[in-house]
Amino acid sequence: MNKLFRLLAFLTPRFLTRIDGWLVTRHPLLWSSRFVHVVFYTLTTLLIFELLIYFIPLVPTIVFVPLYISYISLVFGCVGLGIWLHSQSQYNIWRSFGKSTSSFPYRYTLTCIASLVLFIACACLPCWNAANRAYDYIFNEDIYRVVAASSERIDRFSPLNQLKALPSKKEVDNAQFTSRNRIARMEEESDKLKDKLSDQNLLAEERQQSIGRVRNLERLSTELTVALRREEPRFWILYKQFFTANISDKEANLARTDNVPILVNGHRYIEYETADYNYYESAYYYRDEYGNFLQYRDFINWVILENIAKRLFSSEFTSLVDVCHGKIELKKNEPQRFFRTLTDLTSAPWLFNLSETSALDSEFVIILVQIVFASILALTLAATLSSFFGIKAFFINLIFVILSTTALIVMFAVIDQTSRHMGDDEIGLLAFGLVFFFAFIALLTLYRARKKRVIHGFLWLLSSVTLPLAFIFSLLLLLSGLFNIDPHETGGLMFTTVALLLCAMWYLPSQMRLLYRIYALPR
């Protein structure tokens, strides 16, 4: 670590050293926060990687290269954050007992938030932009051509609404739904259609025309299926584009959230989504009306693609997005939904069906991790409270553990729920990130400080971080349901940001003053 600091000192430009020298004698708080260094290094890294990503030409064979390069900025951001945290633990402003002014906690809060935002921006923005650029490229250059060509031909097709509903999963043999079987089944259905057409004594020309169109569509749907199944990431990209491209209406957006019942050809499916920890392997899964679980791939294969193929015959079809969302029935996002989810989680009937899908495994692991994490925090909280108030009785500790574990699980459920509510990878993930970030600070404090003072510090961190977060996300969840504010839209994001800032500015300074007092307390 010392070598690293020495290297950093060597790499530090002269002007930064000069600014440092000026700050240390006039603005010690700003100096100790290393904010000037944070601004310089994060913005420089950001600029370099953004330029790099922008200027690297995209070629189909190496379409993800800019994304891989952008991961370096992620590493830089994380390492920088680690170094910054380490430096903050060393310049312990609390231990110094300086003459603090009333504006001190506000300035400190602002500096910390700004530093944190810069590090997150440095770590995430290049990856985000690189990923978007790659997906845009793939969609525009590769998939869209297939889809657009199909759409143009489909648009000229006349309606045929005689298709049967899909069989439920119970009646379906998995082997039946391989693409080859599906094409065979389509051909069979086409034949039936032909017979039907003949039975209806349609004009020969029309019949021929319809048969021709049906065959044409069969070929197109086969092409589409093959194109979709060609490569795993592309399949996912197409799926993502189906569900995200051109989404402007709220209902379509809500389709991406958790627990939305989807009606496909009269069959009801409920979409579940685990938090999007892994960009490429987001764990979507569905439960059908019989209580069976389908992984999202199976759902897409068995339900959506089948549906697409069949809708290709339909005149209602205007675009592929409409095909996916046209018949999706959405419920209004009620606040009660959270409690329902909570009941689902706690009763956990799916725990008995773990072997069915791998998605459930990951969901189970996440919940398990949350419970373990909550228990650890609860134990710390209990120890803190007992040491703080001098309560030694075991049963009181036990009550604390039970109560605070429950409270923390509820809190995590809120955050997790919000995470799903907000979409794939933004604020919900950030919420988790924040919790772990402050837990990391707490660990550092644990490392730096000693004995009971550590616990006091931990108490402060716990209360100063988790309470505002729980407050903000509960409020956000309730408001989004009551006023139909979608947190994923710009207004919702602005609301979240403002709420976070207001809460931070209101709560953290008061907690800092408390910490000031706590640090001064004798043991």
Partner 1 sequence: MEALVTEANEVRSFINRDIHEAANKLLKLTNEYSSDLQLKKRALKVNWDLTRIEEENQSSDHLQNEIQDILNNILGKLETQPDDITDYRTRFEATRQFFIQHSHDKEKVFCGKGLSYQYGENDFALQPYDIDLYLGEITAVVGENSSGKSTLIKIIAGEHLAKSGELHYPLFTQSNGKHIDWRDVKENIAYIPQTLQPWAGKVKDYLHFSLAIKGIKGKQNVDEVEYIIHRLNLSEFQDKACHELSGGACMRVELARALIWKPKLLILDEPLANLDINAQAIFLRDLEQLASSHKNPVSVLITSQHLFEMENISHRTIFLKKNTTESASIGEVTYNGLTQDFGKNRQCNTFELSCKNSAEELRAVLLRHQINDFSNHGHYYLIKSGLNIDARALIKILSEANMEVSYFRDTSESTRTLFENI
Q: Please give the residue ranges that form the binding site for partner 1 (CB under 8 A).
A: 2, 5, 20, 24-29, 31-32, 87, 90-93, 95-99, 516-517, 520-523
Pick the closer one to partner 1 by CB: 365 or 521. 521
DSSP codes joined into one string, 293-310: EEEHHHHIIIIIHHHHHH
C-alpha count within 13 angstroms, C-beta hemisphere, residue 74: 13
For the CB of residue 86, give the shortest distance to partner 1 in the complex, in Å: 8
DSSP codes joined into one string, 376-443: HHHHHHHHHHHHHHT---HHHHHHHHHHHHHHHHHHHHHHHHHHHHH-SSSHHHHHHHHHHHHHHHHH
| Distances, alpha carbon 304 to alpha carbons 93, 326, 419, in Å | 58, 11, 25
Pick the closer one to partner 1 by CB: 99 or 156. 99
d(CA 288, CA 356): 14
Which tokens hold the place of 316?
A: 């209602």
Counting Cβ atoms within 10 Å, is residue 466 exposed (0-12), middle (13-18) or buried (19+)?
Answer: buried
Report the run of H or E that residue 135 belongs to, with start and end: helix 104-138
For the CB of residue 132, give the shortest distance to partner 1 in the complex, in Å: 39
For the CB of residue 91, give the shortest distance to partner 1 in the complex, in Å: 6
Pick the closer one to partner 1 by CB: 90 or 181. 90
CA nearest to 512, candidates 111, 117, 114, 120: 111
> How crowded is residue 199: how many other Cβ atoms within 10 Å of its Cβ?
8
Amino acid at 374: A
Pick the closer one to partner 1 by CB: 108 or 296. 108
For the CB of residue 3, give the shortest distance to partner 1 in the complex, in Å: 11
Sequence-distant (≥ 6) Cβ neighbours of residue 53 within 8 angstroms:
66, 69, 70, 126, 129, 130, 133
Pick the closer one to partner 1 by CB: 1 or 203. 1
Which tokens hold the place of 18?
A: 């000069």
For the CB of residue 448, give the shortest distance to partner 1 in the complex, in Å: 8
For the CB of residue 453, give the shortest distance to partner 1 in the complex, in Å: 9
For the CB of residue 38, give the shortest distance to partner 1 in the complex, in Å: 15
Pick the closer one to partner 1 by CB: 40 or 91. 91
For the CB of residue 30, give the shortest distance to partner 1 in the complex, in Å: 10
For the CB of residue 514, give the shortest distance to partner 1 in the complex, in Å: 11
Pick the closer one to partner 1 by CB: 84 or 177. 84
For the CB of residue 433, give the shortest distance to partner 1 in the complex, in Å: 25
d(CA 232, CA 280): 9
d(CA 67, CA 303): 32
d(CA 131, CA 300): 23
Pick the closer one to partner 1 by CB: 29 or 220. 29
Pick the closer one to partner 1 by CB: 25 or 347. 25
Pick the closer one to partner 1 by CB: 373 or 516. 516
| Distances, alpha carbon 53 to alpha carbons 124, 128, 131, 132, 510, in Å | 13, 11, 10, 11, 42
